[in-house]
Amino acid sequence: MSNLLLLLILLPVAAALVCYFVRSSAVRSLTVLATGAILAAASLGLLLQGAFDPIAVGSFLGISSDFLVTVLDFALLGVIFFYGLKHKNLLIQGFTLAQAALLAWFELVVVEHVDVPALVGDQLALIMVLIISIIGSLICIFAIPYMKEHEEHLHLNKSRQPRFFFFMLLFLGAMNGLVLANNVLWLYFFFEVTTLCSFMLIGHDATEIATKNSVRALWMNSLGGLAFVIGMMLMYAKTQTLDISAILAAGPQGALMVTGIGFICLAGFTKAAQVPFQSWLLGAMVAPTPVSALLHSSTMVKAGVYVVLRFAPAYVGTLLSDGVAICGAFTFVACAALAIGQSNGKKILAYSTVSNLGLIICCAGINTPLAITAAVMLIIFHAISKSLLFLCVGTIEQAIGSRDIEDMRGLYAKYPRTAMLTIIGILTMLLPPFGVLMGKWMAMEAGASNIYVIIMLAMGSALTVVYWARWGGSLMATRKEGAAPESQAMLTRLPLVTLCTGAVVLSLAAPWIYNSMLAPMFDAAPFTMSFGSLDAATGSFAVVPLFIVLGLGVLFAAKAASGFRKTRVMPPYVSGANISGDTDGTYIGPMNGDVPFAAGNMYLGELFAEGKLTPVFNALAVALIVLMLGGAL
Amino acid sequence: MDTLILVIIGIVVGPILGGLIAGLDRRVTAWFQSRQGPPIMQAFYDVAKLFGKEKMVVNQWQILCAWVYMIAAAVSVGLFFAQGDLLLIFFVQAVGAVFLVMGAMSAKSPYSQVGAQRELMQILAYEPVLILVFVGFYLVTGSFSVEAVWQLDQPLLAKMPLLYLALGYALTIKLRKSPFDFSTSHHGHQELVKGVLTEYSGPYLGLVEVAHWYETVLVLGLCSLFWSTNVLWMAVLLICTYMLEILVDNTMARMTWRWMLKRVWLLGMGMSVVNLIWLYAG
């Protein structure tokens, strides 16, 4: 058991060191592939052994592991402070110094050092380990061919890939540590490691904009770190323990402790890039695509929502809980609105990520078994679909040299494989019977008991449809007969196809995932399962029947569509004479000139302009966060 | 077993009912305009003729999208008759709506592109209102399932009058009637041509038509739930509602999507929220 845990946390670290010091691309590729395979297997192995009670880690070479973590903590703060100095950023310096001072006081004066079991694996942790180890590994594998091509574009003298893969793999180890931690100090340590990794990866290309955005990410996450330390201290002042399991079991314990949790939730908000902290995640898209995919799907932001969700039992039934729900719902609707005004594919994905994270946090705040189920389902399926979409956009970007969805019009004509995967990815984010929508459905059923929340969810849900549907639709086009098939590197196709299959098949398996992994989390499980349908008193989602009916329907429709060359393919109607023999929508215009087809989406600039809305949303979000923290008192 | 029979009835009777309503709609409209109008069965004749036409497409996605639109609409009606979950029924219906839009966007035709964008605006307008109406159902019955409505001993209309009005908005948009007919129009000779439907032709337009019948039945089915205690009053409510729809359709000009978004999000959502506040307080 504990060997498996060490493997999940330390193997990525060891592999990261190999990638960093052995500057051979073959060794690097092999290390990444092997680490990915072992991590995936280990996470499955951990799942098979089932949930376990908190366990102690003991010591390394005679040094207690708690002490080691403390030392590393300060070392880490030192490194972050160094980067604060290097980039002359007062915010980073200030937040880091404050953290170090508070932490030193806490460690040296306040805390009674008793042995706290360091790791725990409940259902939530096991699910998170699966997501991190499998999806994270797939993204790292995708990065092997991607980074090769990326660096060819940049014409570097000396490859920066060792550094890149060092932080990518380190990230996975830190995430596994974070979700398995049972000691608050360990949780804090891994939380800070992810901050540093994300900073390094966002700034990887070392361009001016990359540096600027990475510094912004660092100061915002340092603020989160500071909030975490404050929260930890307040919480300790009341509970007198660092054992997360014990804190959760005891439930809410008065204003002081709940305020502490409120600050920890704030730390989660910064990490999950909730409004008003969304700008660091949007800036993160300057990094190579695998970084975005990693940050957006299985790591970093998921660490944020994980922290909020992890502590949910400790603030259940308090006003803080309502505050968290309202903040989350607000982010959901605000970022969905901001996404409508965007034509940059990566930015749409980024806003959609923040929006979905808001929904997850909202579910944590609603804090009923149904809502927690919704949150976990959303975490799982969002991670799969969103990583798929990011990797698709990365592939498209390398193919067409643009990430603008207007430039992706008719992508199917030239890149049918990638376009098809993207369309499926979009549909799995948007429509039933897929997992993300099922999560949203659960969230709505759970949120219906809170009028503020449900109004925002209803609006956000409608906004979401608009930006996904138009993107999906504009990718569709016809291939010329006998056009050459699209070529894709094996290591590119493997992660894409795996993720796409996963998004569909796991959605179908959702009732069983629920039954085996989520239901044991609750005393009174929110659903019963019959005939592959999830039933509750409030309503039911017939997953398998819908899959069968709609699946057969889509197969039939696809069959009907595949014979389209036998029907007459006509040029579109353009209120004028089409150019003869051309089905491209070009028509004979004034002066007998050819007028080609052109179209653009409606981005509703007057209503959803990013520049106008962002300051308003930020101000509102700050007010809501103040309201939330005050609610804890 | 009973559920299965109900579902089959729903899927078979749905389009027949929808087609008849479409025919009646045209007759009543003609009556308003002092014309004689086509026979009531005209809608069926039209679709039968469409199915007999040669298959012509702009690209393969249209075939896929038309079929999925039809299938999703039929499944949502089936789910409604199976007394399923209202939110789920709505989301399944949304599958069809999204595919209709995507099919229109796949064509390189300016009219169908404009229509598709506007159809999305329509979805944006009616979706939140419909979700809030379902929340109203939940607050009254304690469940999102249609089944729970039949256990009430008092018509829902008494508790959700403003939500019914808001549903009326959503209904008009969903049925693409004036003043909200800007994603497609009944008359092809306008600046929009046929909007989102421009490039669907022959049998595929037939499928879209049948899907629309299903949607009509679904929306009217939702309205019927507001007077679930008495079949007679339910019929009266439905007839009055649909007559009002036709009247509005005939007396209003087409407005713009901006007007619609503002109107529906402010007025429709406003009425829904006020009604929900009553329910939360009650």
Q: What angle do CA A25, A27, A33 make, to 5 degrees?
A: 100
If 0-12 CB within 10 Å is exposed, 13-18 middle and 19+ buried, where does residue A254 land? Answer: exposed
Q: What angle do CA A190, A221, A285 make, to 5 degrees?
A: 105
B146-152 average pLDDT score: 91
- Substitution target in A426, A431, A449, A453 with the highest count of B β-carbons within 10 Å is A431
Q: What is the pLDDT of residue B184?
A: 83
Strand ranges, E, within A98-216:
119-121
- What's the rounded Cα separation, in Å, for the pair A58 and A52? 17
| Whether the predicted pLDDT of A565 surpasses 90 | no
- Alpha-carbon Rg of chain A, whole angstroms? 25
Contact B143 A583 (CB under 8 A): no
Contact B123 A571 (CB under 8 A): no
Contact A567 B55 (CB under 8 A): yes
Chain B residues whose CB is inside 8 A of the A444 CB are 87, 131
Contact B68 A553 (CB under 8 A): yes
Q: What is the pLDDT of residue A15?
A: 95
| Whether the predicted pLDDT of A481 surpasses 70 | yes
Contact by Cβ (8 Å): A227, A99 = no
Q: What is the pLDDT of residue A1?
A: 56
* Distances in whole angstroms, Cα of residue A418 to Cα of each of A4, A151, A297, A413: 36, 22, 19, 11
| Whether the predicted pLDDT of A170 surpasses 70 | yes
Q: A258, A232, A249, A231: which is closest to A321 by C-alpha?
A: A258
Structural domain count of chain B: 1
Q: A546, A553, A527: which is closest to A538 by C-alpha?
A: A527
Chain B residues whose CB is inside 8 A of the A594 CB are none
Contact by Cβ (8 Å): A175, A190 = yes
From A451, A476, A574, residue closest to B110, measured CB to CB: A574
Contact B193 A573 (CB under 8 A): yes
A135-143 average pLDDT score: 94
If 0-12 CB within 10 Å is exposed, 13-18 middle and 19+ buried, where does residue B230 land? Answer: exposed
Chain B residues whose CB is inside 8 A of the A478 CB are 58-61
DSSP string covering A40-56: HHHHHHHHHH--EEEE-
CB neighbourhood size of A115 (10 A): 11
Chain A residues whose CB is inside 8 A of the B90 CB are none
From B60, B139, B198, residue closest to A561, measured CB to CB: B60
Name the closest residue on chain A to residue B191, using Cα atoms. Answer: A575
Contact B106 A477 (CB under 8 A): yes
| Percent of the residues in chain A that have a pLDDT greater than 70, as a whole number | 100
Contact B109 A597 (CB under 8 A): yes
Nearest-neighbour CA in chain A from B92: distance (Å): 6
From A448, A470, A570, residue closest to B138, measured CB to CB: A448
* Distances in whole angstroms, Cα of residue A379 to Cα of each of A123, A382, A429, A439: 13, 5, 12, 9
Chain A residues whose CB is inside 8 A of the B110 CB are 574, 597, 599
Contact A607 B105 (CB under 8 A): no
Contact B84 A448 (CB under 8 A): no
Q: B225, B228, B249, B113: which is closest to B174 by C-alpha?
A: B249
Q: DSSP 3-state assignment of B191?
A: coil
Nearest-neighbour CA in chain B from A199: distance (Å): 37
Q: What is the pLDDT of residue A56?
A: 85
Residue B217 tokens read as 């039945």
- Substitution target in B8, B51, B60, B259 with the highest count of A β-carbons within 10 Å is B60
Contact A470 B88 (CB under 8 A): no
| Percent of the residues in chain A that have a pLDDT greater than 90, as a whole number | 73
| Whether the predicted pLDDT of A485 surpasses 80 | yes
Average pLDDT over chain A, rounded to an integer: 92
Q: What angle do CA A275, A278, A283 make, to 5 degrees?
A: 165
Residue A180 pLDDT grade (very low, low, confident, very high; cuts 50, 70, 90): very high
Mention every residue, 6+ apart, whose C-beta is less than 8 A from residue A523.
Answer: none
Q: What is the pLDDT of residue B246?
A: 92
A183-196 average pLDDT score: 95
Contact by Cβ (8 Å): A465, B101 = no
- What's the rounded Cα separation, in Å, for the pair A348 and A356? 12
What's the domain range around B96? 2-281
- What's the rounded Cα separation, in Å, for the pair A219 and A538? 44
Contact by Cβ (8 Å): A358, A365 = no
Residue B191 pLDDT grade (very low, low, confident, very high; cuts 50, 70, 90): confident
Contact by Cβ (8 Å): A233, A191 = no
| Whether the predicted pLDDT of A159 surpasses 70 | yes
Contact B71 A462 (CB under 8 A): no
Which residues on adjacent β-strands are paired with residue A529?
A534
| Whether the predicted pLDDT of B165 surpasses 60 | yes
Name the closest residue on chain B to residue A566, using Cα atoms. Answer: B55
From B108, B132, B261, residue closest to A584, measured CB to CB: B108
Q: How many CB pairs under 8 A join A and B?
A: 213
| Whether the predicted pLDDT of B280 surpasses 60 | yes
Residue A59 pLDDT grade (very low, low, confident, very high; cuts 50, 70, 90): confident
Cis peptide before B179 (omega within 30 of 0): yes
Mention every residue, 6+ apart, whose C-beta is less than 8 A from residue B254.
Answer: B178, B179, B181, B182, B185
To the nearest 10 degrees (0 to 180), the angle between helices A161-180 and A301-310 is: 10
Q: What is the pLDDT of residue A478?
A: 83
| Whether the predicted pLDDT of B218 surpasses 90 | yes
A404-409 average pLDDT score: 93
